[in-house]
């Protein structure tokens, strides 16, 4: 596979190299020679670790489409001739790129190349999951060209990491993980990999940013670097100047497909934990708190009297999760977990996932303006985790809905007819929204007919009058907004802050 590329509008794993080369002018090449070289230690690092960096070759059998004499030859991704052949055969095939009258031919084998590195002289290799995904055969190619068949130990799709194992035919060189938490902005780093099938290629740059969240997964916390990373670098190591692995090169941002100096690596702190579990269990066993969380916006923080805005707001608690018996409730804001500060929901997701299953931890929450500490014994996150248990309760007697206006909403007490109309589960209690004023703050916050208001300012409500009473009281108290706990028809909760002015 390839170094993944983030296009301006979407994530993608495919890039191409053209045949044209760019000339660097004599003027542009002039400058401080020392700055052009970078630190003296780069050559020492490369010499020390180069034999631990490997190429990963995979093959996969796929059904051929548009067979016949016009079938395009299978080229390694990133080959300098790939674009030439692609354009040539597409033009011969006519509109849509299909063959002229040819039927699908026999299955074809496609090949791809990526990078990896040896962490144990017994033949243990780390790479990206997308490098080996769906492969029928995986081979490790050492720096001296030796090619050895490898087997898959385990993968973690959420962090895009994989561990391979092969039987060494001679002594190997292995590298160790460094501490990515000690990296500073501006520190020099060295990337080594297999860009465009060119083999052990060394590039250098600096740490451009840390803890970068690019919304590619639930545990994003990438190291950003300007070291050149291209297609084929995926799974390769990012070294510090001591020769320790401080990241695994995984993604780039590029409008063209080539490196523009914005690359991302999974930090070694994350990689080391994932690799240990994959080697031990063949899978990931992540901690599970059993809550649904959302961001604490300025309006929500004002409603909950939290200054400054921080933490992860608990929007829902799983009835079978560890948080329930520990006393964590919807409306709590988690600000510290196991001694670590929680600034936002991503922080909480990462620290919970990294915590051992079965460990008892202190969870500090803010409830009604006061800090409370809850002791929670973490469970294990199941993947996929999609268990919704509907609790059957007695249906309310049918009654004629009485509608009341408040906060730009038409509100009515739940009855059988309204439950049927909006397909609201019996377990959902509260006041149903039957209409939303298009010019209201509620419309801007995406409330819609069929939503159910469960609580107002952390107090349960059962009628439009209850809501109006709470809103009037908040106005008297000088509050600028009111915090609503809102359920959808399936019982999934979220908090919404609406202006009361």
Q: Which residues are catalytic?
A: 130, 160, 234
Q: How many CB atoms lie within 10 A of CB 388?
A: 11
Spatial distance between the Cα atoms of 358 and 496, rounded to a whole number of angstroms: 33
Q: Is 380 exposed, middle or buried (0-12, 13-18, 19+ CB in 10 A)?
A: middle
Q: Helix or strand or coil: residue 5?
A: strand
**Lookup: tokens for 450:** 């069929």
Q: Is 25 exposed, middle or buried (0-12, 13-18, 19+ CB in 10 A)?
A: exposed
342 within 8 A of 286, measured Cβ to Cβ:
no
The closest alpha carbon to 182, from 118, 264, 241, 109, belongs to: 241
Query: Which residues does residue 206 pair with via DSSP β-bridges, in sequence order?
Result: 188
**Interacting residues of 162 by C-beta distance below 8 A, sequence separation 6+:** 126, 127, 128, 129, 131, 132, 152, 153, 154, 155, 156, 235, 278
Contacts 24+ apart (CB under 8 A), 141-148: 141/54, 141/55, 141/56, 141/57, 142/51, 142/54, 142/172, 143/50, 143/51, 143/53, 143/54, 143/199, 143/200, 144/51, 146/170, 147/57, 148/123
Spatial distance between the Cα atoms of 469 and 455, rounded to a whole number of angstroms: 13
Q: Helix or strand or coil: residue 209?
A: strand
Q: Is 181 exposed, middle or buried (0-12, 13-18, 19+ CB in 10 A)?
A: exposed
Tell me the CA end-to-end span of the chain in Å, nearest whole number.
Answer: 55
Query: Which residues does residue 258 pair with via DSSP β-bridges, in sequence order?
Result: none
**Lookup: tokens for 196:** 């465009």
Spatial distance between the Cα atoms of 49 and 175, rounded to a whole number of angstroms: 7
Backbone angles phi, psi at 459, to 5 degrees: -125, 135
Helix, strand, coil percentages, rounded to 5, for the chain? 20, 35, 45
Strands 312-317 and 245-253: unpaired
């Amino acid at each position: 596979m390839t170094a993944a590329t983030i296009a301006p509008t979407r994530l993608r794993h495919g890039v191409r190299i053209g045949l044209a080369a760019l000339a660097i002018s004599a003027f542009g090449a002039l400058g401080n020679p020392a700055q052009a070289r970078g630190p003296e230690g780069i050559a020492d690092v490369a010499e020390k670790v180069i034999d631990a960096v490997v190429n990963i070759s995979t093959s996969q059998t796929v059904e051929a489409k548009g067979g016949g004499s016009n079938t395009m030859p299978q080229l390694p991704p990133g080959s300098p001739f790939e674009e030439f052949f692609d354009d040539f055969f597409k033009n011969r095939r006519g509109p849509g790129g299909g063959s002229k009258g040819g039927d699908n031919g026999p299955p074809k084998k496609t090949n791809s190349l990526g990078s990896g590195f040896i962490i144990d002289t017994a033949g243990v290799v780390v790479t990206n999951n997308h490098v080996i995904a769906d492969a029928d055969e995986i081979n490790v190619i050492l720096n001296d060209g030796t090619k050895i068949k490898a087997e898959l130990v385990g993968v973690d799709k959420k962090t895009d990491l994989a561990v391979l194992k092969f039987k060494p035919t001679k002594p190997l060189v292995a590298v160790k993980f460094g501490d990515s938490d000690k990296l500073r902005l501006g520190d020099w780093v060295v990337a080594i990999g297999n860009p465009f099938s060119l083999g052990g290629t060394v590039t250098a740059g600096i740490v451009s940013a840390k803890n970068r969240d690019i919304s590619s997964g639930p545990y994003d916390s990438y190291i950003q670097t300007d070291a050149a990373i291209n297609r084929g670098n995926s799974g390769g190591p990012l070294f510090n100047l001591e020769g320790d692995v401080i990241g695994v090169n995984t993604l780039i941002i590029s409008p063209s497909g080539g490196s523009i100096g914005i690359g991302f690596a999974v930090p070694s702190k994350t990689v080391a934990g994932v690799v240990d579990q994959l080697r031990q269990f063949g899978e990931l066993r992540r901690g599970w708190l059993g809550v649904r969380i959302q961001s604490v916006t300025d309006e929500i923080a004002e409603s909950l009297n939290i200054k400054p805005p921080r933490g992860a707001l608990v929007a829902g608690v799983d009835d079978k999760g560890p948080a329930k018996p520990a006393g964590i409730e919807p409306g709590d804001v988690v600000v510290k977990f196991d001694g670590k500060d929680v600034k936002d929901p991503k922080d909480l997701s990462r620290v919970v996932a990294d915590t051992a299953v079965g460990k008892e931890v202190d969870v500090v929450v803010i409830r009604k303006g006061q800090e409370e500490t809850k002791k929670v014994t973490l469970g294990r996150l199941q993947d996929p985790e999609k268990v919704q248990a509907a609790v059957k309760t007695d249906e309310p007697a049918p009654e004629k809905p009485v509608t009341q206006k408040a906060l730009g909403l038409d509100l009515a007490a739940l009855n059988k007819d309204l439950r049927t109309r909006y397909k609201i589960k019996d377990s959902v209690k509260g006041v149903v929204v039957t209409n939303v004023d298009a010019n209201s703050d509620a419309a801007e916050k995406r409330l819609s007919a069929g939503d159910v208001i469960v609580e107002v300012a952390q107090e349960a409500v059962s009628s439009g009058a209850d809501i109006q009473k709470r809103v009037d009281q908040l106005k008297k108290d000088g509050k600028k907004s009111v915090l609503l706990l809102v359920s959808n028809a399936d019982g999934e909760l979220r908090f919404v802050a609406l202006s009361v002015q």
